[in-house]
Amino acid sequence: MKLIHKILFLSVICLMTLSCELEDGENLNGPTAESIQDGITRGELEQAITGVLSDMRLRIDTQVDGQSLAGREYYRFQSSDPRWSSDVMTGNLDNNTFYTTTPYSARYTVIKNANLIIEGIGNSEGIFTEAEKSLSEGFLNTIKAHELLMVLNQQYQNGIRVDVSDPNNLGPFLGYDEAIAFISTLLGDAATQLQNGGDEFPFSLPEGFTIAATPADFFQFNKAIHARVEVYRGNYTDAESLLEDSFMDLNGDLSESIYFTFSQSGLDFPNPLFFSVNQTVANARIAHPSFIEDTLTGDSRISKVVRREEVLTQSDLSGIYNVFVYDNIVDNVDIIRNEELILLYAEALHISNPSEAINAINIVRNAAELDDYTGGDSPAELVDEILLQRRYSLFAEGGHRWIDMRRFNRLDQLPNDRPGDNVFVQFPTPAAENR
Indicate whether 18 pLDDT > 60: no
The one-letter amino acid at 160: I
Question: Confidence band (pLDDT; 50, 70, 90) for 36?
Answer: confident
Residue 25 has pLDDT above 50, yes or no: no
Q: Determine the pLDDT at residue 33.
A: 67
- 3 state DSSP class of 314: strand
For a pLDDT cut of 90, what percent of the chain falls above it?
A: 87
Q: What is the mean pLDDT of the chain?
A: 92
**Alpha-carbon gap, residue 340 to 169, rounded angstroms:** 38
pLDDT for 34 equals 67
Task: Give, for 60, the enclosing helix (H) or strand (E).
Answer: helix 60-70
Q: Could you tell me how far CA 91 lies from the centroid of its own chain?
A: 22
Q: What confidence tens digit (pLDDT) does each residue in 89-135 have?
A: 999 999 999 999 999 999 999 999 999 999 999 999 899 999 999 99
Q: 290 Cβ partners below 8 Å, 6+ apart?
A: 72, 415
Number of CB atoms found within 10 A of residue 232's CB? 21
pLDDT at position 281: 81
User: Residue 74: beta bridge partners?
Assistant: 287
Max Cα separation, the chain? 67
d(Cα 220, Cα 223) in Å, to the nearest integer?
Answer: 5
| Predicted confidence (pLDDT) per residue in 291-345, tens digit | 999 999 999 999 999 999 999 999 999 999 999 999 999 999 999 999 999 999 9
pLDDT tens, position by position, 128-167: 999 999 999 999 999 999 999 999 999 999 999 999 999 8
Statement: residue 49 has pLDDT above 70: yes
pTM: 0.93
Type and span of the H or E element at 76: strand 74-77
CA-to-CA distance for 15 and 31, rounded, in angstroms? 15
pLDDT at 244 over 70: yes
